[in-house]
């Protein structure tokens, strides 16, 4: 089968399309014919081995996992003998490493039936970013109906989902983005929009019950200024590539300060895929409360360009690779 592989860390130039062995599902796995796979910041972090500290887990000199890609949507070709609910021919979506390929094997715990109202491209955009947004707000932020939430990075891949999920959970939403994306963020459910090119929300004097930081372009003390007493700051990473710690440094600072300040400072680090979250995302999508925003699509052979675009541009929503 064809897959996008890499044998060393570096820019998108290290990626190449190659023929590799078609995977065979184990007893608890599902073999999926991939129809679409989304591009995430996760992919360029893996590709570059960024931040450097992460190479302790990814591989010191080269990535242990050779095939890039994390999200997918497609059709089930075969299932292991211990898989109960998924059947060959089902249309599914989920999250696992190695999805920039024609086929991928997925643990039964990380795959679920695709939302009926979504295309393969839309469904592929949902798992990792939707998982991040849902867990950040519902589980880590403990969002309650009527609270006021600020999403810093509201027009990006995770941000577009966070705005919609916060609205669906009954929150009043403020989105931080550029002026060109303001109307799109309002259309997703934001009651207020802050143009970061003209206003610093950490110095505006307005206060929020929850601040979800997806950009890592402010200090922890600055972000705390935007919180009400007892408010919650959810640190979800982001930022630009490069450095030893990257956005992890900001998250670690938040963890260290949390016991010392009158706010809840909570990190969101690597939310693991789960069937429960996929079911929640599917139900929100089928109810019309969650619609993926797709900026661009690329063919599998153009996966390197898709990652390059995501790195250097401020993508509106998600970038998707079609297979």
- 298-301: long-range pairs with CB below 8 Å, 24+: 298/322, 300/2, 300/4, 300/17, 300/100, 300/102, 301/17
The predicted-structure confidence for 68-114, as pLDDT tens digits, reads as follows: 999 999 999 999 999 999 999 999 999 999 999 999 999 999 999 99
**C-alpha to C-alpha distances, 232 to 39, 90, 176, 237, nearest whole angstrom:** 29, 40, 17, 15
Given the structure tokens 């063919």, which residue do they identify? Answer: 299
Q: Whole-angstrom Cα distance, residue 164 to residue 180?
A: 19
Nearest to 232 by CA among 206, 263, 201: 263
Among the residue ranges 35-39, 128-132, 216-220, the one predicted with the least confidence is 216-220
Domains of the chain: 2-126+292-322 (3.90.180.10), 129-267 (3.40.50.720)
For residue 200, what are the CA distances in angstroms to 97, 176, 225, 253, 259?
Answer: 37, 9, 11, 21, 26
* Sign of the four-CA dihedral 247, 251, 174, 42: positive
Torsion, Cα of 266, 128, 295, 286 (10° steps): -110
**What is the per-residue pLDDT for 259?**
57
- Residues 264 and 95: their CA atoms lie apart, in Å, by 29
How far is the C-alpha of 114 from the C-alpha of 94, rounded, in Å? 8
| Cβ(121)–Cβ(288) below 8 Å | no
Which carries the bigger pLDDT value, residue 29 or residue 218?
29
Tokens for 56? 């302790």
- Distance, CA of 113 to CA of 122 (rounded, Å): 14
pLDDT of 62: 82
When pLDDT is averaged across residues 288-300 and rounded to a whole number, the result is: 97
How many degrees, rounded to 5, is the angle at CA 244 between CA 262 and CA 227? Answer: 20
pLDDT in tens, 265-281: 888 876 678 899 999 99
Q: Supply the pTM of this predicted model.
A: 0.91
Higher confidence at residue 248 or residue 164?
164
- Render pLDDT for 210-223 as a digit per residue (tens, 0 to 9): 999 998 888 888 99
Look at residue 59 in the predicted model and tell me its pLDDT.
77
The three-class DSSP label of residue 128 is helix
Cis check for the bond before 174: say yes or no (omega within 30 of 0).
Answer: no
Q: Which pLDDT does position 244 carry in this prediction?
A: 40
- Specify the pairing of strand 91-95 against strand 103-107: unpaired
């Amino acid at each position: 089968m064809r897959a996008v592989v890499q044998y060393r860390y570096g820019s998108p130039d290290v990626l190449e399309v190659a023929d590799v062995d078609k995977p065979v599902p184990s007893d608890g796995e599902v073999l999926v014919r991939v129809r679409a796979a989304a591009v995430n910041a996760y992919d360029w972090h893996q590709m570059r081995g960024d931040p450097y500290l992460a190479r302790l887990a990814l591989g010191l000199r080269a990535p242990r996992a050779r095939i890039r890609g994390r999200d997918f949507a497609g059709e089930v070709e075969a299932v292991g003998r211990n898989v109960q609910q998924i059947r060959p021919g089902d249309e599914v979506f989920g999250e696992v490493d190695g999805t920039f390929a024609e086929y991928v094997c997925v643990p039964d715990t990380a795959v679920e039936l695709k939302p009926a109202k979504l295309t393969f491209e839309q469904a592929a955009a949902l798992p990792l970013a939707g998982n991040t947004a849902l867990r950040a707000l519902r589980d880590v932020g403990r969002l309650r109906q009527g609270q006021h939430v600020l999403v810093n990075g509201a027009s990006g891949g995770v941000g577009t989902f966070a705005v919609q999920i916060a609205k669906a959970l009954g929150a009043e939403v403020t989105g931080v983005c550029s002026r060109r994306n303001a109307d799109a963020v309002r259309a997703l459910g934001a009651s207020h929009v802050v143009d970061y090119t003209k206003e610093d929300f950490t110095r505006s004097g307005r206060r929020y019950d929850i601040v979800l930081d997806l950009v890592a372009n402010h200090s922890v003390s600055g972000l705390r200024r935007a919180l009400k007493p007892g408010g919650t700051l959810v640190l979800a990473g982001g930022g630009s590539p490069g450095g030893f710690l990257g956005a992890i440094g900001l998250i670690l600072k938040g963890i260290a300060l949390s016991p010392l300040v009158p706010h809840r400072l909570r990190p969101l680090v690597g939310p693991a895929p789960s069937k429960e979250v996929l079911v929640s995302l599917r139900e929100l999508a089928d109810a019309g409360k969650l619609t993926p925003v797709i900026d661009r699509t690329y063919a599998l052979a153009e996966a390197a360009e898709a990652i390059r675009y995501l790195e250097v541009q401020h993508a509106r929503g998600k970038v998707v690779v079609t297979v």
